[in-house]
Amino acid sequence: MLYRTANVLGYDTASYATDHSGVANWAIEGVDFVTTKGVMNGTGDGFDPEGKYTKEQAILTMVRFIERVN
């Protein structure tokens, strides 16, 4: 969702490959984008696509998106 939003807003969405274990094929491009831009960092064990996502993490994600993607 963040990746598509950035595309629509005309932001640079170039990204670099990250660890994709456990990430669905349709989500790889978006995961690369948010991790490259530092919007999402994952957990100590890497990106955890099946982990719980708290309200606090969602707020931090949006703040980072606004700060780092523009």
Q: Is the pLDDT of residue 17 over 60?
A: no
Q: What is the largest CA-CA distance in the chain?
A: 32
Q: Could you tell me the residue ranges of all domains in the chain?
A: 2-69
Angle in degrees, 0-180, between the axes of helices 2-9 and 28-36, rounded to the nearest 10: 70
The helix/strand/coil state of 53 is coil
Q: What is the mean pLDDT of the chain?
A: 81
Q: What is the pLDDT of residue 59?
A: 94
Answer with the residue of higher pLDDT: 23 or 3: 23
Q: What is the pLDDT of residue 19?
A: 67
Ramachandran assignment for 56, one of left (phi > 0), alpha (psi -120 to 50 degrees), beta (any other): alpha
Q: Which positions ≥6 away from 7 have C-beta within 8 Å?
A: 13
The model's pTM is 0.69
